[in-house]
Structure 1
Amino acid sequence: MAATTIRLSSYLCYLLWIVQVLSVNRDNFKTCDQSGFCKRHRNVQPGNSPYVVLADSLKITDSQISVHLLNSKTNVRLGLDLYGLQGNTARVKINELEPLKPRYEIPVGDVLIGEPKQQNLKVLDRGSGSVTLGLEKSKIVLSYSPFRVDFISGEEPLVSINSQGLLKFEHFRKKPGWVDKLTSVFSWFSQPFREAQPEEQAPAEPTEEEKKEEEGEKKEEDVKEPEQEEESGLWEETYKSFHDPKLNGPSSVGIDVSFPGFENVYGIPEHAESMALKTTKDTDPYRLFNLDVFEYELYNPMALYGSVPVMWAHNEKSTVGIYWNNAAETWIDISSTTADKNFFSKIADLVKGNTEMAQMDTHWFSESGIIDIFVMLGPRPKDVFKQYAALTGSTELPPLFAISYHQCRWNYNDQDDVRNVDANMDVYDIPFDVIWLDIEHTDGKRYFTWDAHKFPASKDMLNGLSVKGRKMVTIVDPHLKRDDNYKVYSDAKNRDMMVKGSNGVEYEGWCWPGSSSWPDFLNPEVRRWWASKFQYNEYDGSTPDLYIWNDMNEPSVFNGPEITFHKDVQHYGGFENRDVHNLYGFYVQKATAEGILMRSNNEQRPFVLTRAFFAGSQRFGAVWTGDNMGEWSHLKVSNPMLLTLNLAGITFSGADVGGFFRNPDSELQTRWYQAAAFQPFFRAHAHIDTKRREPFLLPEENMKIVRDAIRLRYSYLPFWYTLFYHGYRSGETVMSPLWVEYPEDKSTFKMDDQYLLGSSLLVKPITEQGSTGTTVYFPGNSDVWYDTETYQSYAGSQSTYVNAPLGKIPVFQRGGAIVPRKMRVRRSSSLMATDPFTLVICLNKQGEALGDLYVDDYKSYAYRNGNYIHRAFSFKNNILQSSNADPNGRGSSKEWVEKLVIVGFPKAASSVHITVAGNSQSLHHSYDSATRILTVRKPEVNIATDFTITIQ
């Protein structure tokens, strides 16, 4: 009977989910017109800002300016703090001076990795209408009336704040009496069977204390923005059947940020959108509000699963950016205009001729919190990535298995199913590293458990995978089944760890288990408790080879407004969900990653995949683009979506291969595998109602092509691993738009159907049905590019049609790059650990090339103690040199160099010698004059050793 009840509950939840979200019913998700604060901010008209700087309140210290801002229309005062930060970065904070209660600010050390290090500001000029400050090579001009802040490099304006005069800051206030009366009327009509009320009595004479309080309320009302009294949605809103009361009234904040001299802006994921963001003149603004969006639509500004409020602007001269440090629901309008050169001529000597200067205007507004803007002044792409990583951290170096191939579906039915998939991958010689289990592996959707009938011996199953070097990932979602016999739920309940409704009672909603509650991950103590649940004695049946997947952590609430929490859900510290919503999934992943760390005494690197994310999520694992569809359009959009995630610091990201929903045909599956083999996170996944589509089930021709694509991924693992190392050290992107490496090439600024891996590989996936070729743009005036399969060469700075039949992936190595590979086919990456390297050396027009390789134990944190190898390779004057790129690396390895493939070599060699520690010996070699490839075999030198190979 109990099992029947569980199945019925799950079935009802599935139906509810389908009804709620099927085919992106737009009625399930708000538009700007249905959001009171969005409408209010959009209605603010550009012009002179009512806010002015009160110069007599100005205080200047070594690295900070503090001053009061006055709204000249309402007499409201705000506090402005402007900081100089190390790394050519600044910070602008605006807050209420004396709020009725603290406004939410994200705790330092969570999203921001620490308190940003300050940099001295030099006062360059202090006039009656402005103050000019020096920050490294940049200038900051604070104008008094109207208030605005401009950032200038040399004589070029880069960023302007409040130049359009759109600053709007809704302060906390006490509810006016007329609102209470209106609410009472609303309440009366909502209670058809209310009890009879006693006869109304004459009001008592107010006490002196009440008179003072009333007088204070009147004064407070005097400074309210007058137009707000006539607007709806200030104290409560209703969306569909969901009521949203606001006890402290409207609390939104917003301001404009302009980028003079720029025509393109990028970032603010997650949207199924082009990489270069579009103007929102005729659409809603871009929305950042983490939501469970089923079969999401493409090329629109609707919110999706994650939010990273960072934006870059790029032109031929500069790259700059801002990070909006706010976790509330946020909307961003974008428009293309021209800069006010008359204004800039007063503060910078930049007006040359009558040519108009392009400008991108953006308008940011959030439902609550404060205005906290970090301005990153570059000046080049890699500079801004480093500046952003200094704030929110870089992608942690993943274990090698995590960047290999993952096999997943909802769901592998039982242990026999897992065993059969694992065995068939071996039968067909298809390598893979991880097999995944979705929600059906649990005991009635109770996470941290196993279905005793389907998975009676989970450790045996895990150990069977482990002997082949493979791992397993199980899903652990944040919703907990409300069942007092479920120890995880009962433990959290007894410790009072759940989020609360507005009434202070444990919040209840529906998700996969049926009636569910959610731990309050905003509470550090709850996160520590959650992390403890991954200990082997808590997660029974787990082993060191089991890793975790956090899904539904937006959070998804099937019967909630917009399929998530109510806005007035109560969190740790007395804050509402409206203040912190976009952080919930971030904290779930953070706590999970810390749990995986704890179980190994902080020695082994964790792997955690998350669907919901925020700025800083890159420190805790990987992200995927959610519930995509098995359609060509979704394959195509995966490229700009992943490029945008990389630009926003979420470099370890991917899209479900084949699409989560629907049944892709064999051609689409084949092309998707080829594309994903050259994307950072490589996982196939499918919905429970789709046909089985493991790669070995494809028609033989397609299976072989897919197998080749997966094997190709494995051959490039040394290259991928080195890319992730660089990203970890410097915040660099792994998958990059072309303008990152070719910042002056305007033709690349909107290009998002091809991309670079590091600076060495150019990838142009086939994303059109029936295509047997594609036009590839090869950047770089002086560059040459080589097809990685045929080694045919292509000149840079031109577009060329390249044949690409079904078995072909258009991938090209840049001349001048040395790429390390491993060419032996193994069943999993860990079995490749001691395999030798092949160095593919593609020469540039000068006959030279550079490259590097990073090696460690591929799984632990021993590299933090110097147990790693970082080699630098240089080919010049027909000599290859391998030297230590980092003297702090003191590691050792059993890996060695097996072969050199030198592409673009002009003629046959008479001899090749290797010299190690003064000893020289000749090497076998051969030359193909048709392809101009010199192959050098068996140098047989340990990768950690300095060596020189000389060609004559």
Structure 2
Amino acid sequence: MITNTEVAKRGNQHPDHIVDFRQENDKMYFTTQNGVILQVTILRDSVVRFRYATEYVFEPDFSYAISEDVNLGYNELTVEEEIPEYVIITSKIKIYINKANLKVQIVDMDDVILTEDELGFHWEENFDFGGNVVKMSKVCHSGESYYGMGDKASHTNLKGKRVNNWVTDSYAYGKDQEPLYKSIPFYIGLKENIAYGIFFDNSFSTYFDFAAEKRNVTSFWADGGEMNYYFFYGPRMQEVVESYTDLTGVPELPPLWALGFHQSKWSYYPEQKVKDIASKFRKLNIPCDAIYLDIDYMDGFRCFTWNKQYFPNPKKMIEEMEDDGFKVITMIDPGIKIDRDYWVYQQAMDNGFFCRRADGPHFKGKVWPGECKFPDFTNPRVREWWADLYKEMIADLGASGVWNDMNEPAVMEVPSKTANLDVRHDYDGHPCSHRKAHNVYGMQMVRATYEGVKKFMFPRRPFVLTRAAYAGTQRYCATWTGDNVATWEHLWIANVQMQRLCMSGYSFAGSDIGGFAEQPNGELFARWMQLAVFHPFCRVHSSGDHGDQEPWSFGDEITNIVREFIELRYQLMPYLYTMFYNYIKEGFPMLQSLVFYDQEDYQTHFRTDEFIFGKQMLVCPVQEPNAQGRRMYFPKGKWYNYWTDELVEGGVERWVSAEIHRIPLFVKEGGMIPKYPVQQYVGEKEIEKLAIDVYFKEGTERSEVYEDQQEGYDYKKGRYSLRRFKLTGKENELIIQQFKDGNFITPYNKFKMTFHGLPFTIETVELDNEEVDLNDIKLNGNNSIEVGKDFTELHIFGK
């Protein structure tokens, strides 16, 4: 990795004084004597883009990261020229551009400095490859912290760390190892309880130094391309993350079954083995919605083929699996076996779809089938062809989803683990080398896969999974954190990776439960499952060379614990689905680190273990063997112990009992948690009543439940149900108001409300200002009632 010092030694160039300024609507251009142009674009009052050109020339403006649906528009924009600087003013921030050296300082409307350039923009010519190494350095203020950056296997607070974004097949990676499988060059800065964000949209290998080399300097640089970054002003972390997520996009709602439990292994074959696994789930009453087929289902690892010896009739098998409530997910890799009798290979050859080296020959690399060639997924014609290849898999045979692996791209038996840097790519009409296209290669592969699966799944919703990703890949698919290891350290890593990915705009994520490499013992597997049922994507996957890793592989005690927690996930399905709805509607992350939840509490700035699940549940995994409990920090508010109903005051660290069958799990007071009955798979049972756990609060709290048909696209036409609840608790009263939106009619007609922490005995109940007979609502002591789902106000009186 290039260090700051090495870059400095090699002859940095810097902008000198400004000689020209012009404005074109939302864009301002500042030109220096030595040919640097700074383009400042106001996207919103709190979102600003900075682009730097050298030699007076900008590169073509193109990015795979930016969503077509990004919200644009601002309330105020003025530019003032003063003696030392230009000042750009919006309704949220002021941007100072120094006339002498083009350095930038951004302050809020109270003149509090948010970020300021140290050396600012500087560059050096890259004599090996041409173009520039572009670099930006900013002042790191005292007490400043940094978060985000995707799947980094390090402390949630990146202060003092240096990271590299170069999408890499990192088998059995360790804590703090760099680089990993994803490139998400976005971070959140937090200083003096004010949050801002920076997204460095550059697909070359990028580097970030968070005050590691110099304690007062934070910097980021790239091996090529432009210095092109976006600044997001909060002042809340929530606003920063939502703005970044709006810029880079969100997925569509997944089918509800995709949020269920999934089981995978390298590999389940032949067909009878797949059926046996499925049968055992149902026999043991362990809920499961999907079984995965790894590379061994293929004929000689050739993508889009089937090994007829192992799977003589895949369509019939998939139909039988579907009848038992299982979706089948198939693996597809990017490497296409060199075989003139292989139809996919021949089509790509005939159409010129494979990547070529600089001097013309096709790029070749060894993967599972042996020598392979690789489609150029940055070419829109290739993506269209690739999408159509899924017709047989999805439309004809009935698979329900696709899993793209090895798409960094991973190449075996070469030191770089990937394609040669001189490989050429179309880059959607902006031809380039692999140096620029590498980090987006997997993203564009999974984009093509998504488009194909969506096309052939219609009118059902697609499910796609990827290992490699660049910023914005969340628009197309779920992701997982790659080839982890069955160790307690990796349980810790999985926890921080999920928090970090969610903060980085990528909420639909999970880890290989129990570890991919090596073998967990029963305790580790149980503890991992207890954590992973609170991750948006929930899948067991293992390398298979060390034994079985199904829920029943570790004895009856562990099987019973695992079953209970998978059942809990299925009970929480409407809560989880509502979390996903909030993610796609608001950009609100499905999991939040404690610092995201309460950035004003300095204690949260360095917490790694605890996180908020949705908006009203607090989770803290047990991450050490033989533990009977653990210490954990409770953020602001009051929290009910999910298992005991004990109420805990926030703002303190305390011991929580958590023997092997329990995980510390708490519910925010005032929360209303919707639940479905336990199902063996999504859609198995008609929901007759929506259960809602109501946690009393003296004061007000808001909750909501989003539901739709769980499949298809009618929800986009208004066929959804969104119920917003306002709970108000008083000394001897509880008022629940309901506000409904959408025209989807849910299958149930009643709520069963179970009360927790009610400080009074229920005496009378009014529904929409009319008293009801307590027998009609099936009052169960002081514990629960049943009411019709369409009330506007429920008023409970007690003594």
TM, length-normalised to structure 2:
0.94
Q: Which residue of 1 aligns with 2:619?
A: 763
1:120: how far off?
A: 6.7
Question: How far apart, in 1, do the equivalents of 2:5 and 2:407 lie?
Answer: 28
Q: Shift in Å at residue 868 of structure 1?
A: 0.2
- The match for 1:69 among 26, 29, 32 is 32
Aligned-residue offset at 1:841: 1.0
- Which residue matches 2:639? 785
Separation (CA, whole Å) in 1 of partners of 2:625 and 2:62: 46
Q: Which residue of 2 aligns with 1:179?
A: none
Alignment partner, residue 296 of structure 1: 173
Does the aligned pair in 2 maintain the 1:395–1:650 contact within 8 Å? no
Secondary structure of the structure 2 residue equivalent to 1:708: helix
Quote how far apart the aligned CAs of 1:510 are.
0.7
Alignment match of 1:703 (pick from 559, 562, 566) = 559
Q: Partner of 2:51 in structure 1?
A: 93
User: 1:117-139: CA deviations, max 9, x gaps?
Assistant: 35376445312321111112211
* Equivalent residue, structure 2, for 1:147: 102
Moved more, 400-409 or 902-911: 902-911
Matching residue within 838, 845, 858 for 2:691: 838
**Residue 938 of structure 1 is aligned with which of 766, 786, 798?**
786
Residues 1:552 and 2:406 aligned together: yes
Residue matched to 1:209: none
Q: Which runs of 5+ in 1 are unaligned?
A: 1-30, 172-233, 237-245, 339-358, 928-933
Q: CA deviation at 1:531?
A: 0.9
1:80 matches 2:38: yes
8 A Cα contact 1:63 1:118, kept in partner: no
Is 1:948 paired with 2:794?
yes
Contact 2:515 2:541 in 1 (8 A): yes
Partners of 2:45 and 2:90 within 8 A in 1: no
- What SS class does the counterpart of residue 281 from structure 2 fall into? helix
Q: Which of residues 691, 705, 712 in structure 2 aligns to 1:853? A: 705
The AA in structure 2 aligned to 1:840 is: D
Q: Distance in 2 between matches of 1:540 and 1:836?
A: 35
CA gap of 1:947–1:419, structure 2 versus 1, over 3 A, is: farther
- Of 519, 522, 529 in structure 1, the residue corresponding to residue 385 of structure 2 is 529
**Match of 1:252, SS?**
strand
**Partner amino acid, structure 1, of 2:511:** A
Q: Is the contact made by 1:381 and 1:743 (CA closer than 8 Å) also made in structure 2?
A: yes
Q: Residues 615-626 of structure 1 correspond to what in structure 2 (within 5 A)?
A: 615-626=471-482
Pairing partner for 1:59 from 13, 17, 22: 22
| Cα pair 1:148 1:160 within 8 Å, conserved | no
- Equivalent residue letter for 1:254: K
Q: 2:680 is matched with which residue?
A: 827
Cα distance, 1:708 vs. partner? 0.4
Relative to structure 1, the CA distance from residue 885 to residue 131 in structure 2 (aligned partners, 3 Å threshold; closer, same or farther) is farther
Which structure 2 residues correspond to residues 371-386 of structure 1 after superposition, within 5 A? Answer: 371-386=227-242
Alignment of 1:203-218 (within 5 A): none
Contact 1:447 1:480 in 2 (8 A): yes
Distance 2:534 2:158 in 1: 24
Deviates more, 1:915-924 or 1:610-619: 915-924
Give the letter for the 2:208 counterpart: I
Mapping 1:426-441, distance limit 5 Å: 426-441=282-297
> In the alignment, residue 421 of structure 2 is paired with which amino acid?
K
TM-score normalised by structure 1 residue count = 0.80
Q: Secondary structure at the residue paired with 2:621?
A: coil
Contact in 2 for aligned 1:324/1:373 (Cα 8 Å): yes
Q: Give the corresponding residue for 2:204.
A: 328
User: In structure 1, how many angstroms separate the alpha carbons of the residues matched to 2:737 and 2:651?
Assistant: 31
Conserved? CA contact 2:70–2:249, under 8 Å: no
In 2, are the aligned partners of 1:394 and 1:730 still within 8 Å (CA)? Answer: no
1:131-169 deviation per Cα after TM superposition (whole angstroms, max 9, x unaligned): 1111122111111112201110023444445x2215333
Distance verdict in 2 for CA 1:539–1:508, change over 3 Å: farther
Does structure 1 residue 801 correspond to structure 2 residue 655? yes
Cα shift at 1:96: 3.1
Question: Does the 8 Å contact 1:474/1:547 carry over to 2?
Answer: yes
Matched, 1:168 2:126: no
Matched-pair contact (CA < 8 Å) for 2:14–2:122? no
Determine if the alignment matches structure 1 residue 577 to structure 2 residue 458: no
Q: Does 1:318 align with 2:179?
A: no
- The match for 2:605 among 737, 749, 753 is 749
Quote the offset at 1:896 in angstroms. Answer: 3.7
Q: 1:636 to 1:337 in 2, by over 3 A?
A: closer
**Distance in 2 separating the partners of 1:135 and 1:832:** 53
The one of 897, 915, 925 aligned to 2:750: 897
Give the whole-Å Cα distance in 1 for the aligned partners of 2:54 and 2:693. Answer: 59
The amino acid of 2:97's aligned partner reads L
Structure 1 or 2: more strand by fraction: 2
1:102-141 paired onto structure 2 within 5 Å = 103=59, 105-107=61-63, 111-113=66-68, 117-119=72-74, 122-123=77-78, 125-141=80-96
Q: Secondary structure at the match of 2:512?
A: coil
- CA pair 925-410 structure 1, distance change in 2 beyond 3 A: same
Larger Rg: 1
CA distance in 1, matches of 2:121, 2:92: 28
Query: Residue 666 of structure 2: which of 805, 812, 831 is its match?
Result: 812
> Retained in 1: the 8 A contact 2:78–2:90?
no
**Residue 542, structure 1, aligned to residue 419, structure 2:** no
Work out whether residues 471 and 546 of structure 1, in 8 Å CA contact, stay in contact via their aligned partners in 2: yes
State whether residues 725 and 736 of structure 2, in contact with CA within 8 Å, keep that contact through their aligned partners in structure 1: yes
Alpha-carbon shift at residue 917 of structure 1 (Å)? 9.8
Q: Deviations over 1:222-270 (max 9, x none)?
A: xxxxxxxxxxxx544xxxxxxxxx3xx3532111134546520011223
The equivalences for 1:401-550 within 5 A come to 401-536=257-392, 542-543=397-398, 545-550=399-404
Residue aligning to 1:596: 453
1:692 and 2:692 aligned: no
Q: Residue 336 and residue 685 in structure 1: after superposition, are their counterparts in 2 closer, same or farther (change >3 A)? A: closer
Task: Decide whether aligned partners of structure 1 residues 631 and 374 sit closer, same or farther in structure 2, where only a CA change above 3 A counts.
Answer: same
Q: RMSD of the alignment, in Å?
A: 2.4
Which amino acid is 1:298 matched to? K
Q: Percent identity?
A: 27
Which structure 2 residue ranges, 5 or more long, are not aligned?
A: none
- 883, 888, 892: which is aligned to 2:738? 883
Look up the equivalent residue of 1:52 and give its one-letter code.
D
> Does the CA contact (< 8 Å) of 1:842 and 1:902 recur in 2?
yes
> Once the 2 structures are TM-superposed, how far is the Cα of residue 662 of structure 1 from its aligned partner?
0.6
Contact 2:44-2:73 at 8 Å conserved across structures? yes
Structure 2 partner of 1:736? 592
Could you list the per-position Cα deviations for residues 499-552 of structure 1 after superposition, in whole angstroms to 9, with x for gaps in the alignment?
11111222111111111011101111111111111123x768521x42100000
CA separation in 1, counterparts of 2:234 and 2:341? 56
Do the aligned partners of 1:106 and 1:326 also contact (CA within 8 Å) in 2? no
1:598, CA displacement in angstroms? Answer: 0.8
Name the amino acid aligned to 1:546: S
Deviations 1:883-938 (A, max 9, x none): 3343xx121111343421111111221233545999877422234xxxxxx32233
2:408 is paired with a residue whose SS is coil
Distance change (3 Å), C-alpha of 1:87 and 1:925 = farther
Alignment match, 2:468: 612
Letter in 2 for 1:288: N
Q: Secondary structure at the match of 2:725?
A: strand
Q: How many residues align?
A: 791
- SS at structure 2 position matched to 1:131: strand
Is the Cα contact below 8 Å between 1:696 and 1:703 reproduced in 2? Answer: yes
Q: Does 1:256 align with 2:137?
A: yes
Taking a change above 3 Å as real, the CA distance of residues 605 and 39 of structure 1, as seen in their structure-2 partners, is farther
Q: Is the 8 A contact 1:818 1:842 kept in 2?
A: yes
**Closer/same/farther in 2, CA of residues 687 and 749 from structure 1, 3 Å limit:** same
1:60, distance to aligned residue in structure 2 (A): 2.3
Letter in 2 for 1:839: I
Q: Which amino acid aligns with 2:133?
A: S
Write the mapping of 1:659-674 to structure 2, written as runs, cut at 5 A.
659-674=515-530
CA contact 1:159–1:257 (8 Å) conserved in 2 = no
